[in-house]
Structures are given as C-alpha cells and as structure tokens.
Amino acid sequence: MPKKSKKNRIAAEQARLLALYDSLTPEKMALAIGMIERAAFMRVECEDLELDLQKKGWTEPFQQGNQEPYDRARPQGQTYQQLNGNYQKIIKLLDSLLPQPAPGSQVKDDGFDAFVNGRDEA
C-alpha cells in the first residue's frame, strides 16, 4: 500500500479537526479555520520529524577543524520541539473556542476524589 502524500495527510488531518470543531458558531469557525489549517500542517510535520528522530537520533557526530569529535544536537530535534510546542498552543486555543459547560452543570462523581481523600487520611 503506497504511503499517503504529505498533502493528503494534511488534508485528512484538516478534515479530522474540522469534524471535532464543527459545533463552533460561524463566527468562531471563521477564526478557527486558519488555526485548523496550521495545526494540521504542524501535526504532519511533527510526525515526519518524529520518524526522522527515531531513525537517526537526536544527536549526530560533529568535528570542526582539529577539535576532538563530539555529538551535537541535530537541528531536527530543535525544530520538532518548537513545532510541537506551537501545535499544542494552537490546539489549546482551538479548544478554548468550544462551548463551555453551563455553570450549574456537574460532572458525574466517579468516586476518585473520595478514594484519594480516604487513602490520605488512613
């Protein structure tokens, strides 16, 4: 099975994100569409950089002149870290556009807090 092109992978990620945020009002969607396009691009780029880092590692041997050779960080690692951080920021911004739960609505108690509090008191 041939690997999908980068363009197709970005389009698929855009479609996935658009489906997640389809409940946005038209005004908020107008704001979100650019972020969705950027997020899709960044996610695909991060995936490609991850594969490169897994195959080739985070460091590479380097020698300048008569110096002793040493390992230095590969530029792909720094690019990955910056891109991943920016991706997370965009996703957080997108999530902030989603409707928030009503102030009076409550999440069903799953008993976890009682378990933790009871354990700490024992």
Return the closest-CA partner of residue 37 out of 16, 51, 55: 16
Note the pLDDT tens digit of each residue in 45-76.
999 999 999 999 999 999 999 999 999 999 99
Strands 59-62 and 70-73: antiparallel
Cα separation, 13 vs 69, in Å, equals: 42
- Terminal CA-to-CA distance of the chain, rounded, Å? 57
pTM for the whole thing? Answer: 0.76
Query: Are 96 and 31 within 8 A, CB to CB?
Result: no
Note the pLDDT tens digit of each residue in 93-102.
999 998 877 7
Confidence of residue 2 (pLDDT cuts 50, 70, 90): low
